[in-house]
Copies of this chain bind each other. A is one copy, B any other.
Amino acid sequence: MAMLMQGALDRIRRSLKRRQLDAILVTQPENRRYLSGYTARDHSINESAGVLLIPCEGDPYLLTDSRFHLQAEDEAADFRIKLYPRGLFPLLRSLLRKQRIKRLAFESHYFLHSTSQTLTKLADSLKVELEPLTGFIEELRLQKNDAELALIERAVLLNEEVFQEIYKTLRPGQTEKEVAHALENCMRLKGAERPSFETIVAGGPNAALPHAVPSDRPLVAGETIVIDMGLVLDGYCSDMTRTVVLGPPDTKTIALFRLVRKAQLAGLNSLREGISGMVVDKIARNVIERAGLGERFGHGLGHGVGLNVHEGPSLNYRNRKPLAEGMVVTVEPGVYIPNWGGIRLENMAVVEKDGCRVLNRDTTFLDL
């Protein structure tokens, strides 16, 4: 994993130098993993499995506690491991001194206000200037290299295998919760680390909620059933949505499926290096708007996927930046009709120079 990201540390260091920063403290768990190869997970933002201190010059450090010592030594081969028996800050004090760090960046979007107050006190006492950064390392993670793309593709294919296996067993009368549980159980049995988010299974009126939580409501023949699921394999995430119907769909359902699929294909066909997330969103959205259902598609078209299941770049009205080769995004238009149901179709694709490569192969209910 450390080898996977060869060069990332150098890019961080150059970028720090340009900003006249002496070092950065990396607290965001996926950034930590990306740069070091260290795979431990935080129990919560309050209970960290470790922090990287990356100076412009000299060795980078992984600071952690004794529980993670062996794992850190094993995985973060390019880092010096330092243990903090009494919490992070006393150790940080001595390292900042020893390394003569005078301008220190930290990750403002993964640093609690309360912890930042402790850091500020420490920095003041050492006359260290603090620089809060947001998205600094996430920026590096946007474009995936070949090794990362291979891992993401494996996650997508495993995701489809799980979906297909459980799809075959769906019957009216099963509850949404039962199906969600069966999907998550199957993921684990097939070797996934865990779901990448809480699996959504939503039938009938529940399918009209884009972020429905599986309920005790049974599946009913003829209704749309939205299944939005993802898993983590070797750290990388998948995210896929299929909408299915048990028994024959009626004509309204078929018409809406075709509309959503048309919007999805319009989005996928426009994806290429140089186009902005805003324009891709607009192109897909136009299809649904022209059918008079623009207000029934209330969320963005897609988002980046990698070590986090939600990361940059966004495909929505706010993202005016051009997409670049190697970015991985979801394309997931939907229509949601209150008290009736909803349809969402989501595939993942890699942005390429002259187009995109769709990572999904499963076609269940895509082309009605």
A→B interface (CB under 8 Å): 41, 43, 45-47, 66-68, 70-71, 106, 108-117, 132, 134, 181, 184-185, 188-189, 197-198, 209-211, 213, 298, 310
Contact = CB atoms under 8 A, between A and B. Distances in A.
Nearest to A70: B209
A339 B68 CA distance: 16
A231 to B, nearest CB: 14
A132 B110 contact: no
Contacts of A112: 108-113
A213 B194 CA distance: 13
Q: Which 6 A-B pairs have the closest CB atoms?
A: A108-B114, A113-B116, A67-B211, A109-B114, A111-B113, A108-B113
A68 B210 CA distance: 10
A150 B132 CA distance: 45
A109 B46 contact: yes
A90 to B, nearest CB: 15
Given A66-B298, A67-B211, A298-B66, A43 B197 contact: yes
A108 B298 CA distance: 32
Contacts of A213: 71
Chain copies in complex: 2
* Among A67, A113, A132, A184: residue with most chain B CB under 10 A: A113
A45 B66 CA distance: 26
Contacts of A71: 213
Contacts of A41: 198
Given A68-B211, A108-B117, A185-B185, 16 more contacts: A46-B109, A47-B310, A66-B298, A67-B209, A67-B210, A106-B113, A108-B112, A108-B114, A109-B112, A109-B113, A110-B112, A111-B112, A111-B114, A113-B113, A114-B132, A181-B189
Contacts of A188: 181, 184-185
Contacts of A45: 45
Contact of A114 (B67, B134, B197, B198): B134
A211 B70 CA distance: 12
Contacts of A109: 46, 112-114
A148 to B, nearest CB: 21
Contacts of A184: 188
A244 B253 CA distance: 55
A113 B114 CA distance: 8
A78 to B, nearest CB: 22
